[in-house]
Amino acid sequence: MFLEAFTQILDAHCPPALVRAAETDAQAMAPLGVAIAEAGFDRILLPEDVDGAGLSLAEFAPLVMACGRTLCPVDLPENAVALMLGIEAVALPEMVRAALLAARMAGAIEKLLDMTVDHVTTRQQFGRPLGNFQAIQQQLAQFAEEAAAARLAACIGFGGAEFTIARSATAKLRCNEAAGFAAATAHQLHGAIGATAEYDLQLYSRALWRWQRMAGTSTDWAARLGRDRLQRGSAVLPYIQQNLETGESA
């Protein structure tokens, strides 16, 4: 119910033209921010007795992914989590930002996959669609695997009652990896059109490459995940079972 309502707001107020305009004019996103606030989505993680909706983190994850699918320039995920934690958005811990970015990346990767499938289905070469060639089908199959892995990793990031190093590290690491593959493959299968300013693909690839470098690199999070695993002292399987559950949104 919440995801459907939120998606309707994004569909109405967050077209690619807004994403482009927001890159140079912060005021361009004002109507979207107003629509989100008026619908109460910035308070969605607060308990119902204080005017919130009482969503769990796992239930909130699909909304963050929807922000990634549309490249929503409004910091709804950050603001909603900050309000839940009772802090300013600028003070969010890095592990929280990493999990939020991972979920945005998962949504953007799914959108890139949809765009790429549509392109190779309609674009023809040698008298037949590109998607009919076996080599293209193999790349699409791997693309779909990476998109599914990114979504699962993002759900792990939101899998508990609070954010943790183990979940955030796993989510950011795997989504960083999937993002690199997704952007490269999407551009390869689109050809030159994917790099043109008029085509939306470059909006997504640039966002993914930017998000890869934010809130800690893959090297940073691999080290933190390793230290967390060693500090807990459990074997690998119990560590995964105890700390990396996916949550309801998986």
Question: Do residues 66 and 176 share a domain?
Answer: no
Q: What is the CATH number of the domain that holds 156?
A: 1.20.140.10
d(CA 231, CA 244): 16
Taking a C-beta distance cutoff of 8 angstroms, is the pair 198, 62 a contact?
A: no
Q: In this structure, are 212 and 109 located in the same domain?
A: yes
Which of 55, 74, 91 is at the close of a domain?
91
Claim to verify: residue 104 and residue 42 sit in the same structural domain: no
What is the predicted pLDDT for the residue at 127? 65
Number of structural domains (the chain) is 2
Return d(Cα 67, Cα 107) in angstroms, integer. 7
Q: For residues 39 and 6, state if they share a domain.
A: yes
Domain-located, residue 249: no
Question: Is 248 part of any domain?
Answer: no
Residue 120 inside a domain? The answer is: yes
* 123 and 236 share one domain: yes
Last residue of a domain, one of 33, 66, 91: 91
Q: Say if 150 falls within a structural domain.
A: yes
Do 121 and 66 have their domain in common?
no
Q: Is 204 among the domain residues?
A: yes
Task: Provide the pairing of β-strand 128-129 with 124-125.
Answer: antiparallel
Q: What is the pTM of this model?
A: 0.93
- In this predicted structure, what is the pLDDT of residue 101? 98
**DSSP letters for the chain:** -HHHHHHHHHHHH--HHHHHHHTT-GGGGHHHHHHHHHTTGGGTTS-GGGTS----HHHHHHHHHHHHHHT--S-HHHHHHHHHHTS-GGG--HHHHHHHHHHHHHHHHHHHHHHHHHHHHH-EETTEEGGGSHHHHHHHHHHHHHHHHHHHHHHHHT-SSS--HHHHHHHHHHHHHHHHHHHHHHHHHHGGGGGSTTSTHHHHHHHHHHHHHSSS-HHHHHHHHHHHHHHH---HHHHHHHH----TT-
Together in a domain, 17 and 84: yes
Q: Give me the domain span that covers residue 14.
A: 2-91
pLDDT tens across the length of the chain (250 residues) = 799 999 999 999 999 999 999 999 989 999 999 999 999 999 999 999 998 999 999 999 999 999 999 999 999 999 999 999 999 999 999 999 999 999 999 999 999 999 999 998 887 676 677 767 788 899 999 999 999 999 999 999 999 999 999 999 999 999 999 999 999 999 999 988 888 989 999 999 999 999 999 999 999 999 999 999 888 877 888 888 888 877 654 4
Q: Which of 67, 91, 115 is the last residue of a domain?
A: 91
What would the pLDDT profile of 108-154 be if each residue is shown by its tens digit? Answer: 999 999 999 999 888 767 667 776 778 889 999 999 999 999 999 99
